[in-house]
Structure 1
Amino acid sequence: MDLINDDHMKMYFYESRLLTFAGWPFEEDCVCTPENMAKAGFVHTPSDNSPDIAQCFFCLKELEGWEPEDDPEKEHKLHSPNCNFITLKKSVESLTVEEILRLQKERQKFVIKKTCNQAIAAFEESVKLKRGQIIQTAMDEE
């Protein structure tokens, strides 16, 4: 595996994150400019209904409903205080290979947790639908 060319590895770098903010609704006279969003670890992940969704590339926390005065770094720390990226004490460029690999291990924990939570939510929704079908079948037989 070529770690440097993996898309998620590119997101460790500010310039790569900044490129995702095309069409970001807050450009000037705001605290949550694309530059500040990218510095705080966010990438722009808009949807048709929500043009201001941003997700931390590292902890995968998604935030939307941004206001011009929202400080991206403060919001990131508030909503995801355990994100290892936002708590880094030095620049990505000065990290050692060992530190990058340690960070990647921590990032994988966030990925696994999110994937498991999505699977659990899908399973619970499926169970809810099946339960409704069973109840409906039982009522129809009465």
Structure 2
Amino acid sequence: SNQAQKMSNGSDVHAMFVYSKRLETFLGWPYVSKDGAKCVAEKMAATGFFRPNPESEPDLARCFMCKKEMEGWEPNDDPHDEHRMHSSKCPFLHDKGKDLLDITIADDIKLFYVKEIQSALKASEKFLAEFNQKHETCCDELKN
């Protein structure tokens, strides 16, 4: 449903594929370049991050692609380095032979499909693990 695609702040999850929409979530972000900070709003958004709940969790950032959440940002934290360190397999970071801001519509579509495939794989892995657990339980019961 449409409601399922909404974040708690009312933003559309799919809108977070767009840099300018991610950047909008950083309004009021405390780190700015004039203070020498590296984790400025523009770099956060360019690296795939958005703020899902700016009112209740002001320094929580989530990657739109891998869903990695990070908080406790320090001014000298580089968003790209932190993202790569904590979510090294994020497709958004690996699909780049170019600047993170030079994403084409075709790139977005490719990332969208990669994300959907990852979600489906995770759901099937969870289902398979639950199925195997139930199978083992049934087998044990039959043996007894």
After TM superposition, the score normalised by the length of structure 1 is 0.63
Relative distance call for 1:26 and 1:111 in structure 2 (3 A) is farther
Sequence identity of aligned pairs in percent?
Answer: 39
After TM superposition, give the deviation of residue 112 of structure 1 in Å.
Answer: 4.8
Question: Does structure 1 residue 60 correspond to structure 2 residue 67?
Answer: yes
Per the TM alignment, residue 10 of structure 1 is displaced from its structure 2 partner at its CA by 3.0
TM-score by length of structure 2 reads: 0.62
Extract unaligned runs of 5+ from structure 2. 1-11, 126-144
How big is the alpha-carbon RMSD for the aligned residues of Structure 1 and Structure 2?
3.2
Deviations 1:30-89 (A, max 9, x none): 110111101111001236663200000111110001111000000111111111112222
Do residues 27 (structure 1) and 39 (structure 2) align?
A: no
Match of 1:13 in 2: 18
Partner of 2:83 in structure 1?
76
Query: Is the 1:21–1:43 Cα contact (8 Å) retained in structure 2?
Result: yes
Against the structure 1 CA distance between its residues 21 and 47, is the aligned structure 2 distance closer, same or farther, given a 3 Å change threshold? closer
Task: Determine if contact 2:25/2:54 at 8 Å carries over to the other structure.
Answer: no
Match in the other structure for 2:111: 103
**Count of residues in correspondence between the two structures:** 112
Larger Rg, first or second structure (1 or 2): 1
Q: Where do 5+ consecutive residues of structure 1 fail to align?
A: 1-6, 118-142
